[in-house]
Copies of this chain bind each other. A is one copy, B any other.
Amino acid sequence: MPEESKGQPGCSKWMNATGPDGEIVLSSRVRLARNIREVPFPYLASDSQADDVTRQIRQTSSELQDEMGEMRFFPIKNIPPLERQVLVEKHLISPLLIKEPHNSAVLLRSDEAVSVMVNEEDHLRIQCLLPGLQLEQGLAEANRYDDLLEEKLAYAYDEQWGYLTACPTNVGTGLRASVMVHLPALVLTKQINRVLSAIAQVGLAVRGLYGEGSEVVGNLVQISNQITLGQSEDEIVRNLYGVSRQIVEQEAQARQILLNEGRDRIADRVNRAFGVLSHARLMSSQEAMQLLSDVRLGIDLGLIEEVSGNILKELMVLLRPACLQMEAGRELDSLDRNRERAGLIRKRLESHYQ
């Protein structure tokens, strides 16, 4: 947030660092849903009950300062609306959290790898977001914060059902683990539908970039567990990890096929994408994502050398409407955004050149 206040959206750790299998798995996310015992879930709570929860978490986080590291507490209502949207675009909070900003809040670690949403669908949503395929590390980190908070807070927990949550699909572990994968070669070799339906058949959910119902753009897919009950946290994470590794293998093979069967054609494609990105004067979000996906593929295949692979992760966030308007320092209509977006891409690509 301090960075946002300077009018320049900064990068979260997941955006500008790399991790294991980072060429294909852009990020891993683990979140735990928790609620306070004997307080109605947020959608049923009165204002004063919800305020009470917020106050309690703020208090707790300040008591746990030493153990939690550099965390800051922000009531959503104190964050200017545009900056709230920036947090959503960076995947640090959900759109739901800012929909009713009266009693909601977020606790955010300075590297933005850990965030705790307060009064979203549940009283607490502890989230860890890491670069690359780091589901176990994400779970460990989320668990550490969960354990710290549990020492101070009385969680709603049932011996038989486990953690109780506002929505029954989260009951049990309250765990949702997900990976964001970049699958351009499976798309280009027309294997993507087969792969995605296989994923659905093993009980995992496949979504676009910005959660349920969002379109798949830029060959980016989010894969997450659907089941939270009847499996341990470790099992859930191990299962998703295993599937992710298989997807990584399949995408890697497809990339090899592209190189073997038409190196010129794929080199042409990715370099054209780079040429358009670095020279266009107007650019829609959707086109930018497709071209950035191509450029990232080119970088991964060694066909484009001047640019860092993180350009995709950085720009897929920084080109979103709120980030763009923050960068421009003013409200932008759709045509303005297309102009600013093209300008920002050129600037970023130039600075990457140097």
Query: A: which residues have CB within 8 A of B?
Result: 264-265, 267-268, 271-272, 274-282, 335, 339, 342
Contacts and interface: CB of A to CB of B under 8 A. Distances in A.
B264 A339 contact: yes
A280 B339 CA distance: 24
Contact of A268 (B267, B277, B281): B281
Contacts of A277: 275
Contacts of A339: 264
A207 to B, nearest CB: 32
Given A264-B339, A339-B264, A281 B276 contact: no
Contact of A278 (B275, B281, B335): B275
A282 B272 CA distance: 9
Nearest to A304: B279
A281 B277 CA distance: 16
Contact of A267 (B272, B275, B281, B335): B281
B264 A271 contact: no
Contacts of A274: 275, 279
Nearest to A271: B279
A272 to B, nearest CB: 5
18 contacts: A264-B282, A264-B339, A267-B281, A268-B280, A271-B279, A271-B280, A271-B281, A272-B276, A272-B279, A272-B281, A274-B275, A274-B279, A275-B276, A275-B278, A275-B279, A275-B280, A276-B276, A278-B279
Nearest to A339: B264
A134 to B, nearest CB: 34
Nearest to A274: B279
A109 to B, nearest CB: 39
Ranked 4 nearest A-B pairs via Cβ: A275-B279, A275-B275, A268-B281, A268-B282
Contacts of A278: 275, 279
Contacts of A264: 281-282, 335, 339
A334 B279 CA distance: 28
Contacts of A267: 281
Contacts of A275: 272, 274-280
A342 B276 contact: no
Nearest to A269: B281
A282 B267 CA distance: 9
B268 A272 contact: no
Nearest to A282: B268
Contacts of A342: 268
Contacts of A335: 264
A67 to B, nearest CB: 51
B265 A272 contact: no
Contacts of A281: 264, 267-268, 271-272
A21 B278 CA distance: 32
A341 to B, nearest CB: 12
Contacts of A265: 282
Contacts of A268: 280-282, 342
Nearest to A336: B264
A155 to B, nearest CB: 54
Contacts of A280: 268, 271-272, 275
